[in-house]
Amino acid sequence: MTNTSAFVSHGIAQAQRALSAVATMTNAHLNPSTLKRTLAQRARAELARLEIIIRRLLVLMALGLVLPPVTIRASSGHHSDTEPVETKASGHLLGLSPRILGPGMVGDGLATATRACGPVPAAPILARLAALQELLAAPEAHARRLARTLERQRKAGEAAPMALPMHRTHRMPPELGAIATALPELLRHAFKSWETSG
């Protein structure tokens, strides 16, 4: 196992632990219909940070994959003949447009607080949590699809994505904060061959 793959494996384990903490915090196993507003805001902030970290870990994993050549075959018109289609949640998570791999992406969940009071619906937060847990249950499959997407973008002459430093990593658990801090430089190094590779 290379240093990068060991780092990714460790990062995924830490992200899974953090997701479990959010699930416990929100009592996700009880499938609540509402959450206290302050709890919901905290959960959304945690999930927004974890989305960025998980997205970057999957990109790093994808960049380390050696893809077999794509085989061209006649389509029978069935959906099974096409590449797996990502869900809306995973598509948003893995999308690389704009070129910045968070933070500050449109829809990254870092919305400003409102002055409304009272409980808020739990369903959007629980769905977001479930989508991230689903991604980490089979990260290799998602990384392979992402690797294909990155390869198409590279061959189309698009510029390599960038990863900006994350803020407030000191508020994360120490190991997860260290992972979040290291990811931008690891991605910058992994994308070095983007312009020169054939």
For 126-191, the DSSP string reads: HHHHHHHHHHHHSHHHHHHHHHHHHHHHHHTTPPPPB-PPPS-GGGS-HHHHHHHHHHHHHHHHHT
The pLDDT tens digits for 109-145 are 444 444 567 899 999 999 999 999 999 999 999 999 9
Helix (H) or strand (E) holding 121: strand 120-121
Residue 78 lies in a domain: no
- Give the per-residue pLDDT at 181: 94
For residue 11, being part of any structural domain is answered with yes
Please provide the average confidence, as pLDDT, over all residues in the chain: 80
pTM of the predicted model as reported, rounded to 2 decimal places: 0.77
The domain of 44 spans 3-65+85-190
Q: Which residue has the tokens 């018109």?
A: 77
Alpha-carbon span 20 to 61, nearest angstrom: 22
Give the model confidence (pLDDT) of 34-71 as tens digits. 999 999 999 999 999 999 999 999 999 999 888 777 66
Residue 80 within any structural domain of the chain:
no
d(CA 115, CA 3): 46
Residue 117 lies in a domain: yes
In a domain, 198, yes or no: no
Q: What is the pLDDT of residue 198?
A: 52
User: Cα separation of 50 and 177, whole Å?
Assistant: 11
How many domains, in total, are found in the chain? 1
- Asked if residue 79 is part of any domain, the answer here is no
Mean pLDDT of 90-101: 42
Under 8 Å between Cβ of 11 and 57:
yes
Q: Is 70 among the domain residues? A: no
Asked if residue 177 is part of any domain, the answer here is yes
Cβ–Cβ under 8 Å, residues 150 and 96: yes
